Structure formats: structure tokens, C-alpha cells
């Protein structure tokens, strides 16, 4: 009897474990961030001339960075997807692109134009998220949305930077990053690799969803200061003769995949041409942290190599042009930030990322497009 009892207990445990693993892999709604969670970033001291000492990064129950969904009958929902520039990790929500845009769309005049009681902007973005990663995330999370009015795609520079990190291979794109486990909590390619019992993992997810979780992260932004030191100690910038054509075409192909997915679930898709500190005269380091342009893997041994600034800016322009071309080919609206945003300190805190004033100005440009009378369809 004891043996039978033990065997039955083991069988029940196995069935529960398999059921929980199947649920984690196939049945649960997928999220890009842990719902109802909070990360408190302590910003590295070298960045505090431009950024606050501490940032509260809150994720709502939809798995988005943003406010909780308002409980109203009529809601205009916007989803912003992209890389670190869209995420604005080291900016408080109210200073980020998403936070400013949320406030602008909830102004009384804006709500009247949209014909809604309230507007909500959520952000699903990650550092180094290229167009392939954006397409992957949207494919997995958008089926869980009941209603979505507008998807904003802010992308391009991650593809270029990852190509440089791969050594700028001529006639090839950068290998796609395998960051599925970071981009999604429970993704379809998930294998049974966890050492924790799946039942415990599932219970933890449910607990956090219901009661929340706060994690503290110290030294946020350390990578930028480390790269800056590498740049300052590196030999003179070099010139590259690699052909980026395949990288650009691959970017356009992946961007179209993201667009196709977004169109299936949202009434409107808008591309945003990513903007950068577009100045040949590299500013002094007390103005912004100018650290980008590394050629090769930063983890590789040996002296660091950085490309000429003019070549880096030209590469960014090629990707920006590809974004505009893709929007035209797909018949989409595209927000061009060039000419609307001034490349100066106070707008940027480094070559690629925006300071609070930059977040505000970009949100205003995006809001004008969303609120364009000829484009609003409810």
C-alpha cells in the first residue's frame, strides 16, 4: 500500500509538472515584460549630470511600461515598440517618449479629436532590439490584445550597431540575437531547461501578477561609461570599406514582417525614423556622452577599434532612409524626426539616447501625426 501510495504521489507530481510546463509554453498569454512588476534603477554616477540618480521603471498588468489601463468604456490604445531609444530606460516615465505621448493624447482637445474618453500609451522595447526582435515580440504578444488602435515602430539603429559589433561583414547582415528568453517570459520556442519545477515558476508568475514585485538594479548605464573610456583610450578611428547593402535589405525585410503582424491587430501602424546625434563635430564629453561606433565584439580581447564618425553617421542615414522607403512601399505614415529635433546637448545625453527634453519634443512630433484629422479612423 505504501509503495502504491508513493507511486500515485509521484504520478500526480509528474502530471502537474507536465501540465504546468505545457501551460507556460503554449497556453498562457505572452508578455514582453513581467506584468505588475517594478525595477528601480540606480543610475551610474557618471551619468547623473544628464539623468536622475534613480528611475522607477514600472510595468503594468499588460506587460507594458506605462500606466495601468484606465477603466473607461472608450479607450484609444497606442503601443510603442522598439529598442533602447523607445524604451527610455533611464528616464522617469513622465520624461520618456511614451510618458509624454500619453500625457499629450489625454489632453481634453486630443481626446475630443480621437473621439475617446481616455488614451493609453504602452511601451514594449528592449536594449539592442533590432527589427527581427521587434517582429518576434509583436508576433507573440499582439494576439493577447483585445483592442489596439495604433502601433508605433521606432527602429533602425540597433540593426546598424549590431552589424558593426559583428565586425561589419561585407555582403552580410549581423547574426540575429538569440534573446528570446529576455524578450518574452514564456515564448513558443521555450525548452524544458528550467531547473525549477514548472509549478513553482507558474505560481511565482501568478503571485507577481496579483501582488507585484520590486527589483533594484545598481549602476545602470555603466556600459556607456565603460565604452566611453574605451573610445578615449583607443587608437585613432579607422575607416571601413564593408558594403552594408545586405544588412540594410535584411533590416527592411524584418521591418516588413513587424509591419505585417502589427497590421493584423491594430487599426493603424506608424513608422518612426530613428534619430541620433547627427553632428560631425564630436562634442566635448561634458556636453553628452559620445561613446558609440565600436567595431567588433566589445567582449573580445585586444585593443578596442572605433570607426570614423562620418562613416557611422552615414550608416545611420542609410538605415533611416530604409525606414522611409519601407513606409512608402507599405503605404504607411512615417514620422521623420530630422528637421524637427535639434541635435544638441539637452536633447540627447549620448549619441543615441534622449534626455527629458528630447523625449518631450519627439512625443510632440508623434502626437501631431496621430492627431492628424485625415488619419484618425475609429
Please tell me whether the overall predicted TM-score, pTM, comes out greater than 0.85 for this model: yes
Q: Could you tell me the three cell numbers for 97?
A: 517618449
Relative to beta strand 54-59, strand 75-82 is: unpaired
CB contact at 8 A, 60 and 66:
yes
CB 78 within 8 A of CB 101: yes
pLDDT score for 187: 42
**Which H, E and C letters describe the chain, residue by residue?**
CHHHHHHHHHHHHHHHHHHHHHHHHHHCCCCCCCCCEEEEEEECHHHCCCCCCEEEEEECCCCCECCCCCCCCCEEEEEEEECHHHHCCCCCHHHCHHHHHHHHHCCHHHHHHHCCCEEEEEEEECCCCCHHHHHHHHHHHHHHCCCCCEEEEEECHHHHHHHHHCCCCCCCCCCCCCCHHHHCCCCCCCCCCCCCCHHHHHHHHHHHHHHCEEEEEEEECHHHHHHHHHHHHCCCCECCCCCCHHHHHHHHHHHHHHHHHHHHHCCEEEEEECCCCCCCCCCCCCCCECCCCECCCCCCCCCCCEECHHHHHHHHHHHHHHHHHHHHHHCCEEEECECCECCCECCECECCCECHHHHHHHHHHHHHHHCCCCCCCC
> Exposed, middle or buried, 133 (CB in 10 Å: 0-12/13-18/19+)?
buried
Q: How much is the pLDDT for 122?
A: 97
Domain ranges in the chain are 2-370
pLDDT value, residue 127: 87
**Burial per residue of 60-74, b for 16 or more beta-carbon CB atoms within 10 angstroms, e otherwise:** bebbbbbbeeeeeee
Strand-pairing partners, residue 182, are: none
Contact 376, 113 (CB under 8 A): yes
Contact 87, 154 (CB under 8 A): no
The pLDDT score that the predictor gives to residue 182 is 58
- Quote the pLDDT of residue 117: 96
pLDDT score for 213: 87
The pLDDT value given to residue 293: 85
Contacts with 167 (C-beta within 8 Å, 6 or more apart), sequence order: 295, 296, 297
pLDDT value for 288: 66
Q: Which fold has domain 2-370?
A: Rossmann fold (3.40.50)
For the chain (378 residues), the mean pLDDT of every run of 10, in chain order, is 76 78 69 90 87 93 94 96 94 96 97 96 92 92 92 94 90 69 50 61 79 88 81 84 92 97 96 83 62 83 85 92 96 89 84 91 95 65
Amino acid at each position: 500500500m505504501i509503495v502504491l501510495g508513493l507511486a500515485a504521489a509521484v504520478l500526480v507530481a509528474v502530471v502537474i509538472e507536465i501540465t504546468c510546463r505545457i501551460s507556460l509554453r503554449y497556453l498562457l498569454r505572452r508578455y514582453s515584460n513581467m506584468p505588475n512588476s517594478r525595477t528601480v534603477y540606480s543610475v551610474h554616477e557618471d551619468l547623473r549630470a544628464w539623468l536622475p540618480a534613480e528611475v522607477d521603471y514600472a510595468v503594468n498588468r499588460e506587460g507594458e511600461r506605462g500606466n495601468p489601463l484606465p477603466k473607461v468604456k472608450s479607450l484609444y490604445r497606442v503601443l510603442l515598440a522598439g529598442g533602447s531609444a523607445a524604451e527610455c530606460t533611464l528616464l522617469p516615465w513622465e520624461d520618456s517618449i511614451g510618458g509624454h505621448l500619453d500625457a499629450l493624447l489625454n489632453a481634453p482637445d486630443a481626446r475630443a479629436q480621437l473621439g475617446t474618453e481616455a488614451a493609453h500609451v504602452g511601451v514594449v522595447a528592449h536594449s539592442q532590439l533590432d527589427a527581427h526582435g521587434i517582429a518576434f515580440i509583436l508576433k507573440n504578444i499582439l494576439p493577447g490584445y483585445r483592442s489596439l488602435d495604433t502601433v508605433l515602430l521606432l527602429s533602425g539603429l540597433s540593426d546598424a550597431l549590431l552589424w558593426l559589433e559583428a565586425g561589419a561583414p561585407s555582403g552580410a547582415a549581423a547574426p540575429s540575437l538569440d534573446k528570446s528568453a529576455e524578450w518574452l517570459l514564456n515564448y513558443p520556442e521555450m525548452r524544458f531547461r528550467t531547473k525549477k519545477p514548472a509549478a513553482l515558476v507558474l505560481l511565482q508568475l501568478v503571485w507577481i501578477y496579483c501582488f507585484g514585485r520590486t527589483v533594484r538594479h545598481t549602476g545602470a548605464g555603466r556600459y556607456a561609461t565603460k565604452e566611453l573610456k574605451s573610445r578615449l583610450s583607443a587608437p585613432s578611428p579607422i575607416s571601413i570599406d564593408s558594403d552594408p547593402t545586405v544588412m540594410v535589405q535584411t533590416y527592411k525585410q524584418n521591418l516588413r514582417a513587424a509591419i505585417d503582424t502589427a497590421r493584423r491587430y491594430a487599426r493603424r501602424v506608424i513608422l518612426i525614423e530613428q534619430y541620433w546625434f547627427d553632428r560631425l563635430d564630436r562634442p566635448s564629453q561634458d556636453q553628452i556622452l559620445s561613446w558609440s561606433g565600436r567595431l567588433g565584439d566589445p567582449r573580445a580581447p585586444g585593443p578596442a577599434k572605433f570607426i570614423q564618425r562620418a562613416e557611422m553617421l552615414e550608416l545611420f542615414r542609410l538605415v533611416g532612409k530604409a525606414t522611409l522607403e519601407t513606409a512608402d512601399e507599405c503605404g504607411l505614415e512615417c514620422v521623420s524626426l530630422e528637421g524637427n529635433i535639434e541635435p544638441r546637448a539637452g536633447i540627447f545625453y549620448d549619441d543615441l539616447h534622449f534626455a527629458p527634453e528630447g523625449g518631450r519634443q519627439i512625443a510632440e512630433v508623434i502626437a501631431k501625426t496621430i492627431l492628424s484629422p485625415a488619419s484618425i479612423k475609429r
